[in-house]
């Protein structure tokens, strides 16, 4: 049994306390938002809600679920998250795999061009003019195509592909596999860790899409959930059918509770994805940490 030194024990205790405090700092604001979303308007207005709901109620969520505009924005966000992540992974892998193979003669120049985009980025106005000339404004393609390949994620995926033993690739070629079949049958199954890790990064980015939607989308029907959430928080844009007297009164008496419920609905789905990909995500984070 290995004996742990006093210094190591002290470090472990200090590290545990620090990480616990850091986790609480991150979690308690979310817990406060959750508590307010389940509290009555009187409790929220009077500042009685901290981390436990006061006068528990579902009315705030009933309001949110009855608002068609929120559901429409939620659907847009789900669509751009799923479609955008697929486009990102396919495009990134399509560029990263060729430049990871030694037989690709021009790989150094491609890598240099991608590296330049990390150092120098185009300003907003030229980007907007380009999107307008390509007729992508007021289209969801404006949220999907411009960021199809992230330079940082490209280098991460390239580093992973470079770690695949060339003997595996050569064995596939000897067995008569075409390049596409070899990628589908050998390379991609071995790439689940990096695909899962980068998929999370891409998905979170699409789920939180905000600035691009403000720049390129003028149609409210195309606004993602984050833009709708900003309306609720900043502009108090809370509307409901006047005939629904219960919700109409709620919109004026407890706008904060409705905002908190919307924040929870916008946060929970992307948080629930992580546990299913955690195993691959941890493996993906180790990419490049060990050199042979």
pLDDT above 60 for 107: yes
Instruction: Summarize pLDDT for 142-189 with one digit per residue, the tens.
Output: 888 888 888 888 888 888 888 877 777 777 777 777 777 777 778 888
Q: What is the mean pLDDT of residues 198-222?
A: 87
Report the SS3 class of residue 134: coil
- Determine the Cα–Cα distance for residues 277 and 271; give it in Å rounded to an integer: 11
- Determine the Cα–Cα distance for residues 279 and 269; give it in Å rounded to an integer: 19
Q: Would you put residue 237 in left (φ > 0), alpha (ψ -120 to 50) or beta?
A: beta
The count of C-alpha atoms lying within 13 angstroms of the C-alpha of 68, restricted to the half-sphere facing its C-beta, is 4
**pLDDT confidence of 281, banded at 50, 70, 90?**
low
**pLDDT confidence of 80, banded at 50, 70, 90?**
very high
The count of C-alpha atoms lying within 13 angstroms of the C-alpha of 98, restricted to the half-sphere facing its C-beta, is 15
Q: What is the pTM of this model?
A: 0.76
Q: Could you give the domains of the chain?
A: 1-57 (no CATH), 64-285 (1.10.3720.10)
pLDDT above 60 for 249: no
**pLDDT confidence of 292, banded at 50, 70, 90?**
very low
**pLDDT confidence of 88, banded at 50, 70, 90?**
very high
Q: What is the pLDDT of residue 180?
A: 78
- Determine the Cα–Cα distance for residues 232 and 237; give it in Å rounded to an integer: 5
């Amino acid at each position: 049994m290995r004996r742990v030194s006093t210094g190591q024990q002290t470090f472990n205790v200090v590290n545990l306390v620090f990480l616990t405090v850091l986790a609480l700092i991150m979690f308690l604001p979310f817990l406060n938002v959750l508590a307010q979303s389940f509290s009555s308007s009187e409790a929220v207005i009077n500042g009685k809600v901290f981390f436990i709901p006061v006068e528990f109620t579902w009315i705030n969520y009933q309001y949110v679920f009855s608002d068609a505009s929120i559901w429409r924005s939620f659907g847009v966000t789900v669509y751009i998250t799923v479609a955008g992540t697929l486009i990102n992974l396919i495009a990134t892998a399509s560029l990263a795999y060729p430049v990871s193979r030694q037989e690709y003669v021009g790989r150094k120049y491609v890598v240099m061009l991608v590296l330049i985009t990390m150092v120098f980025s185009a300003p907003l106005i030229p980007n907007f003019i380009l999107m307008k000339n390509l007729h992508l404004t007021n289209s969801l393609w404006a949220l999907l195509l411009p960021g199809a390949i992230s330079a940082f994620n490209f280098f991460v995926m390239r580093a992973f592909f470079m770690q695949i033993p060339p003997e595996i690739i050569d064995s596939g070629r000897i067995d008569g596999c075409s390049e596409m079949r070899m990628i589908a049958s050998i390379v991609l199954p071995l790439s689940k860790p990096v695909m899962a890790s980068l998929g999370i990064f891409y998905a979170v980015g699409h789920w939180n899409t905000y600035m691009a939607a403000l720049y390129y989308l003028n149609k409210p029907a195309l606004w993602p959930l984050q833009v709708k959430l900003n309306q609720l928080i900043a502009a108090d844009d809370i509307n409901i059918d006047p005939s629904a007297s219960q919700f109409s009164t709620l919109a004026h008496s407890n706008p904060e509770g409705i905002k908190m419920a919307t924040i929870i609905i916008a946060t929970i789905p992307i948080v629930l994805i992580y546990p299913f990909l955690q195993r691959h995500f941890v493996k993906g984070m180790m990419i490049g940490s060990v050199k042979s």
